Amino acid sequence: MLYEQELKTFVEGTTNFFEVAAQQPASIGSPYLMEGTPSVHEYTGVINISGKREGVVYFTAPKAMLTVLLMKMQENDFSHETMRDLVGEVANTISGNARRDFGRDFVISVPSVLSGEKPAIPQKPGQRSFIIPINWRSHSAKLVVSLS
Amino acid sequence: MSVAGLERRRQLVTAGLGTALTLVMGLVLIVGFRLATHMRAEVTALQAASTLQTYPEEISHQLNTLRDRLEVRAYSGKALADLQETVKHFDQELKALDATRDVDSPQLGRALLLWHEYGPVLDPVVTFSGQPYLDTDSGGSNLSREGREHYAQVKRAQLFAADNAHALQAQLSSLASTLQQSASQAATRLRGLLAAGVLAALVLAAAAGYFQFTRARHERAARDAQEQTRDILKTVREGFFLLDANYRIGSVWSEALARMFGRSDFAGLSFEELLKNLVTPATLATATKYIKLLWGDRAHENLMKSINPLGQLEITMDNGHGSKETRYLQFDFHRVMGPEGIKHVLCSVGDITSSVLLARELQDQQENANQQLDMMLGMLHVDPLQLVSFLDTAETGLKLVNAILKEPARSDAEFRKKLTGLFRELHSIKGEASALNLKSIASRVHALEDMVSECKKRPELTGSDFLPLVLKLDELLAHLRSVREMAARLTDMKDSPVTAPAAVPAVPAAPAARTPAAAEAPRPRAVEDMTPTLQAMADRLAADHAKRFRLSMHGLADVPGPYNATIKDCLIQMLRNSAVHGVESPQVRRDSAKDEAGAVRVEFRRTADGYELLFEDDGAGIAVESLKAAAVKKQLISEEEASLLDTRSTMALIFRPGFSTQDDVSMDAGRGVGMDVVARSVYALGGKIGVSTHPGKYTRFKIVLPAVDSASSAVA
Amino acid sequence: MKLNAAPVNGKRSYKLMIVDDSNIMRRRIERSQQFEELELVGTAGNGEEALDLFRRTDPDVVTMDLTMPRMDGIECIGRLVELKPAVRILVISALADKATAVEAMEKGANGFLNKPFTDRQLNEAIAELMR
């Protein structure tokens, strides 16, 4: 069973990124559960977790949101690579936060970045995931926590 | 100031005072001795001078006597001998005085000069050794030739002496008085010196005394301070020690350390040795590196504090009874700066085991509670078939809950809108769980309901408020799954031919296919008789509400599969409604000449164009006025609206969301959810619901449902 | 411990190298730092690249990410300090656990900044680094 604190650590890692990097806090939408593999947006940053918990946590965002985020960060390069870079950094932040809070119990991988509509995210069959919408400005991304 | 510095200063002052005293006394002694010596010489000289001043007169006198003797030709030998003696003494003593006098005295010089002038006239007289007379028989004695000459010399000397004796004497007398004066001055000086010496000694002694006093006081203060330090170190709950540049612990440490580490040989122990055997090698390595960094000047204190890896150190040690014990220590480090950089590192250690364990315990308790409930559930005697049917319904309900959550929301209003729907679904699941007496499930749903109620009270709803909800929902689903597993085991044990679905559904390797709806669909539905569930529910309700029921059920076996869950939901809700609102207590019923056991009749039958469900109790019925009053109180309608409502419209109120006439919240009613759930699910199936009542006599619900093939599914 | 550098136009100038596998982060650091005396001599996206660039440009100040492909930051710090003991290294990483920070400091880093960071945090960390 996932603890509230664990979920909060991942959520805060994500919202913190927006607040610090773009000086505009993100809010979280209505969270829900999902069985099977949730759909993803164009860009996805994934961290794998093993140890006391097993599974994946990923941040998936649409291109439009990343573009605005980059603008807010005063970037003017909106290439595919930069987008990948950005979701990677978000995942990196989530991973750092998690290491700080659960470093003793979890083994947390270096983030990897996937792009495209149907990327292969390894997921345990029958695993229920927490989907937490991350709303920022008019855009919406998803934080998916899929741990057992 | 440091204690060592104070002590050194004190020693210096003591030595200084001693030296000063010795010097002063030595000086007084030396000067005094010299003064005394000088004075003695002067006194001797004074005596000599006093004696000498009589000599010139004496010499004159003796010369006179000698001349007289010679004139009368008397015996002159004795007079000459006296004169010789006097002159010799005078000459000797005057020269001795001159020799002893170290200071120049003009008087003495002049006296010596005069005496020197005496020499030529006096010498011939004194050195005379011949016979002055010639003795004759006739005329007595006459002067001899030498005698005449001697006589002439005596006369000359006598005349010279008569002229000069006074001057010489005056000089000597003046010398004496000078010496007298000088001696008295020396005496005064000596007295002064002695007095000064005594005074100086007194002052020094007083200073020494004062110093000794303050020193004693300081020592006492230092001793007090030392004692206080010792007391602090003995009683303080934190461990304190200093680390030196070799990462070794100093000689002073607080006794709490002994309790924390179960040892007391800290002095000289290295930090690494302190932690070795208590922590993992990796932690030890990190800790050692950190301590080394503390001694470097690369990182400032704040940075070091922020990367302190020993903020919550887990250590494992023998607890003295042969077994291992895990403790949590919090280390804090502060650099102690000296003039040449870091002097020590002050380390404080707190035992935070209890707070860490408390936090862990809370987590563990939650997990334990879950397991315990599961076990309790295992002991329940619930018909596996009923259970599986319930689980299907509950899961469907929870999926609906999840579907409500899944609706995107950003504003408070959007979030708030979800709450009502969530509540309704949850309430319905809870009702059925209660009916089956599945406490572990009912209590979880109840907790979830509580969370929803809590959310309603929040002023501004955000997604964060829903995080605990979704976690709880996940837990509930997991719990349902484990209950299902258990049900499967029970079924297996009872060797039932009608097997319940496998507990953990076997899922194909490709994960993509599994959506909530897909998961639900393939599950085979057992043809189930709901009568025992309802009977059990009625029994429980009767017990809980101190009422008696006679439940009669007809035709329920004909309920078609798709309607099964809904019909059961509705019946449970209506049963609860009867138990709480309808059927009176046995006492009241007796007083109204009714049978003590309330009669509740359920009938399901097929009609020409569908189905019909009747539910009737012979209870108190529904009083239109109290219904209106309750609706006004709940602010569902205004008083004005209430007065305008006819009976039929008033009755319809009980199907309105949020309506309940019971005030206290129980597992069965009172949350304003109940009949509206029934109505909603009936409408969802394309059916209709109606109510008729007669106060004091009965309440009757009638549900009309369409034929199955035209029904829309509620569980989509 | 003061940095040594040749005065340029009467002002001391330090050579800065930025190491981060993320382009955005590299640009972000470059853009956000407000020290006139820092002159960027190059950026690198992994440890090996950083080492090579370091040999060629001899920077005085380095910002270093830790999680990078082809030689991670920790190892890279060790190598840089071997090459130039006086170099000042600021670790900028999302890794927030203490053991990593201690490890980096032990290898020779002089400061530690957690990602994500604000401009102010970055400038404070650099100021602290050059103190």
Q: Tell me, what CATH number does B432's domain have?
A: 1.20.120.160
Please determine, for residue B95, whether its predicted confidence score (pLDDT) is greater than 50: yes
Identify the pLDDT of residue B264. 85
Identify the pLDDT of residue B501. 41
> Would B519 be classed as within a structural domain?
no
C-beta of residue B467 within 8 angstroms of C-beta of residue A7: yes
Identify the pLDDT of residue C106. 86
Please determine, for residue C47, whether its predicted confidence score (pLDDT) is greater than 50: yes
* pLDDT cut 70: percent of chain B above it: 85
Mean pLDDT of B111-124: 82
Q: Which chain B positions have a beta carbon within 8 Å of A131's beta carbon?
A: 406
* Interchain contact A100–C (C-beta under 8 A): yes
Residue A117 banded pLDDT, cuts 50, 70, 90: low
Identify the pLDDT of residue C92. 92
Domain spans of chain A?
Answer: 4-147
Identify the pLDDT of residue A53. 80
Identify the pLDDT of residue B196. 87
* Mean per-residue pLDDT of chain B: 79
Q: Which chain B positions have a beta carbon within 8 Å of A53's beta carbon?
A: none
Please determine, for residue B66, whether its predicted confidence score (pLDDT) is greater than 80: yes
Site from A6, A19, A32 to mutate, B interface, most B CB atoms within 10 angstroms: A32
Give per-residue pLDDT as tens, B259-284.
888 888 888 899 888 888 888 888 88
Look at B171 and A59; give whichever has higher pLDDT.
A59
Identify the pLDDT of residue C19. 94
Instruction: Give the least confident one: A21-35, B101-115, B169-183.
Output: B101-115
Q: Are residues B687 and B634 in the same domain?
A: yes
Identify the pLDDT of residue A141. 92
Identify the pLDDT of residue B149. 84
Please determine, for residue B381, whether its predicted confidence score (pLDDT) is greater than 60: no
Q: Are residues B188 and B76 in the same domain?
A: yes
CB atoms within 10 A of CB A112: 16
CB neighbour list of residue C85: distance below 8 Å, 6 or more residues apart: C108
Count of A–C CB contacts within 8 Å? Answer: 59
DSSP collapsed to 3 states, chain A: CCCHHHHHHHHHHHHHHHHHHHCCCCEECCCEEEECCCCCCCEEEEEEEEECCCEEEEEEECHHHHHHHHHHCCCCCCCHHHHHHHHHHHHHHHHHHHHHHHCCCEEECCCEEEECCCCCCCCCCCCEEEEEEEEECCEEEEEEEEEC
Identify the pLDDT of residue B407. 86
Cα B334 from Cα B316, distance rounded (Å) = 25
Q: Which chain C positions have a beta carbon within 8 Å of A74's beta carbon?
A: 31
Would you mind telling me the total number of residues written for chain C in this entry? Answer: 131
Closest-CA residue of chain B to A33:
B402
Please determine, for residue B506, whether its predicted confidence score (pLDDT) is greater than 50: no
* Mean per-residue pLDDT of chain A: 84
Cα B69 from Cα B75, distance rounded (Å) = 6
Mean pLDDT of B63-75: 83
Q: Are residues B200 and B254 in the same domain?
A: no
Terminal-to-terminal C-alpha distance of chain C:
9
Residue whose token pair is 């004066």: B181
Neighbours of chain A (3+ CB pairs under 8 A): B, C
Q: Do residue C102 and residue B309 have CB atoms under 8 angstroms apart?
A: yes
Q: Do residue C96 and residue A99 have CB atoms under 8 angstroms apart?
A: yes
CA distance C113 to chain B (A): 9
Strands (E) located in B432-516: none
Please determine, for residue A131, whether its predicted confidence score (pLDDT) is greater than 60: yes
Residue B52 banded pLDDT, cuts 50, 70, 90: confident
Handedness of CA B196, B199, B205, B207 (dihedral sign): negative
Closest CB to B514 among A1, A35, A135: A35
Closest CB to C99 among B286, B292, B298: B286
Identify the pLDDT of residue C58. 93
CA distance C99 to chain A (A): 10
Residue B140 banded pLDDT, cuts 50, 70, 90: low
Cα B599 from Cα B439, distance rounded (Å) = 27
Count of A–B CB contacts within 8 Å? Answer: 94
Identify the pLDDT of residue B3. 56
Residue A73 banded pLDDT, cuts 50, 70, 90: confident
Identify the pLDDT of residue C97. 78
Q: Do residue A36 and residue B511 have CB atoms under 8 angstroms apart?
A: yes
Identify the pLDDT of residue B23. 87
Residue C21 banded pLDDT, cuts 50, 70, 90: confident
Please determine, for residue A25, whether its predicted confidence score (pLDDT) is greater than 50: yes
Cα B521 from Cα B523, distance rounded (Å) = 6
Please determine, for residue B507, whether its predicted confidence score (pLDDT) is greater than 50: no
Please determine, for residue B104, whether its predicted confidence score (pLDDT) is greater than 80: no
Please determine, for residue B566, whether its predicted confidence score (pLDDT) is greater than 90: no
Mean pLDDT of B649-656: 80
Q: Tell me, what CATH number does B586's domain have?
A: 3.30.565.10
Identify the pLDDT of residue B670. 44
Handedness of CA B86, B91, B95, B97 (dihedral sign): positive
Residue whose token pair is 């005065």: C7
Residue B645 banded pLDDT, cuts 50, 70, 90: confident
Q: Tell me, what CATH number does B252's domain have?
A: 3.30.450.20
Which fold, C13-118?
Rossmann fold (3.40.50)
Please determine, for residue B716, whether its predicted confidence score (pLDDT) is greater than 50: no
- Give A 8-27 residues with CB within 8 A of chain C: 16-17, 20-21, 23
Give per-residue pLDDT as tens, B532-559.
778 877 887 887 788 888 889 988 888 8
Domain spans of chain C?
Answer: 13-118
Please determine, for residue A100, whether its predicted confidence score (pLDDT) is greater than 80: no
Q: Are residues B173 and B320 in the same domain?
A: no
Q: In this structure, what are the phi and psi dihedrals at residue B238, rounded to the nearest 5 degrees?
A: -90, 155
CA-only gyration radius of chain B, Å = 67
Burial class (CB in 10 A: 0-12, 13-18, 19+), B302: exposed
Q: Do residue B415 and residue A30 have CB atoms under 8 angstroms apart?
A: yes
Coil, strand or helix at B623 = coil
CATH architecture of the domain A4-147 equals 3-Layer(aba) Sandwich (3.40)
Identify the pLDDT of residue B256. 86
Question: Which of B328, B351, B374 finishes a domain?
Answer: B351
Residue B583 banded pLDDT, cuts 50, 70, 90: confident
Q: Do residue A75 and residue C27 have CB atoms under 8 angstroms apart?
A: yes
Identify the pLDDT of residue B712. 43
Please determine, for residue A27, whether its predicted confidence score (pLDDT) is greater than 60: yes
Closest-CA residue of chain C to B311:
C98
Cα B239 from Cα B330, distance rounded (Å) = 10
Identify the pLDDT of residue B664. 47
Q: Are residues B376 and B401 in the same domain?
A: yes
> Would B216 be classed as within a structural domain?
no
CA distance B289 to chain C (A): 6
* pLDDT cut 90: percent of chain B above it: 2
Identify the pLDDT of residue B666. 53
Q: Do residue B289 and residue C103 have CB atoms under 8 angstroms apart?
A: yes
Residue B510 banded pLDDT, cuts 50, 70, 90: very low
Q: Do residue C114 and residue A77 have CB atoms under 8 angstroms apart?
A: no
Site from A33, A102, A135 to mutate, B interface, most B CB atoms within 10 angstroms: A33
> Would B44 be classed as within a structural domain?
yes
**Which structure tokens are listed for B201?**
């000694």
Identify the pLDDT of residue B400. 85
Q: Domain residues for B572?
A: 531-710
Q: Do residue C112 and residue B307 have CB atoms under 8 angstroms apart?
A: yes
Residue B385 banded pLDDT, cuts 50, 70, 90: low
Please determine, for residue B157, whether its predicted confidence score (pLDDT) is greater than 90: no
ipTM: 0.84
Q: Tell me, what CATH number does B77's domain have?
A: 1.20.120
Give per-residue pLDDT as tens, B300-335.
778 888 888 888 888 887 766 667 778 888 898 888
Q: Do residue B293 and residue C1 have CB atoms under 8 angstroms apart?
A: no
Give exposure, B625-652, as e/b (b: 16+ Cβ within 10 Å): eebbebbbeeebbeeeebeebeeeebbe
Residue B356 banded pLDDT, cuts 50, 70, 90: confident
Give per-residue pLDDT as tens, B524-539.
344 457 787 788 778 8
Mean pLDDT of B587-612: 88
**Which structure tokens are listed for B507?**
């899922």
Please determine, for residue A79, whether its predicted confidence score (pLDDT) is greater than 80: yes
Side chain identity at B118, as an amino acid letter?
Y
Cα B28 from Cα B34, distance rounded (Å) = 10
Q: Which chain C positions have a beta carbon within 8 Å of B293's beta carbon?
A: 102, 105-106
